[in-house]
């Protein structure tokens, strides 16, 4: 019985998605692929290219974590945190 319910749910979801695609296609919204092509975006092939260098090497991990707590408003000196 579960397979029948799952298949029915999958069919309903697909039908709903088809309706959304038609709705937005009629309004002229570009697809993600069209936006990527229009903006000339490229994606890095090597995941290492995604790594950032946002923290000075001379500062410790504890300094980084303390800064993150402070930025988020959860500093240890804050009695509400």
Residue 18 located in a structural domain: yes
pLDDT band at 79 (very low <50, low <70, confident <90, very high): low
Mean pLDDT, range 55-80, rounded to an integer = 81
Reported as half-sphere exposure (CB side, CA atoms, 13 A), residue 8 has a value of: 5
Q: What's the pTM? A: 0.31
Structural domain of 63: 2-71
Residue 36 located in a structural domain: yes
Residue 12 located in a structural domain: yes
Which tokens sit at 75? 């500093």
Residue 25 located in a structural domain: yes
- pLDDT 10s digits, 26-62: 667 778 888 888 888 888 888 888 887 777 888 898 9
Model pLDDT, residue 1: 46
Cα–Cα distance measured from residue 72 to residue 81, given in angstroms and rounded to the nearest whole number: 10
Looking at the structure of the chain, the number of domains it has is 1
DSSP string, 18-71: HHHHHHHHHTTPPPHHHHHHHHT----SSGGGG----S-TTS-HHHHHHHHHHH
Residue 79 located in a structural domain: no
Residue 80 located in a structural domain: no
The closest alpha carbon to 66, from 44, 46, 81, belongs to 81
Mean pLDDT, range 70-79, rounded to an integer = 74
- pLDDT 10s digits, 1-10: 445 767 777 7
pLDDT band at 78 (very low <50, low <70, confident <90, very high): low
Cα–Cα distance measured from residue 50 to residue 57, given in angstroms and rounded to the nearest whole number: 18
């Amino acid at each position: 019985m579960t397979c029948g319910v799952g298949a029915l749910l999958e069919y309903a979801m697909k039908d709903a998605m088809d309706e959304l695609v038609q709705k937005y296609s009629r309004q002229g919204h570009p697809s993600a692929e069209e936006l990527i092509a229009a903006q000339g975006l490229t994606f890095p092939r090597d995941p290492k290219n995604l790594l950032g260098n946002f923290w000075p090497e001379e500062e410790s991990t504890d300094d980084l974590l303390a800064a993150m707590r402070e930025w988020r408003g959860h500093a240890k000196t804050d009695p509400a945190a």
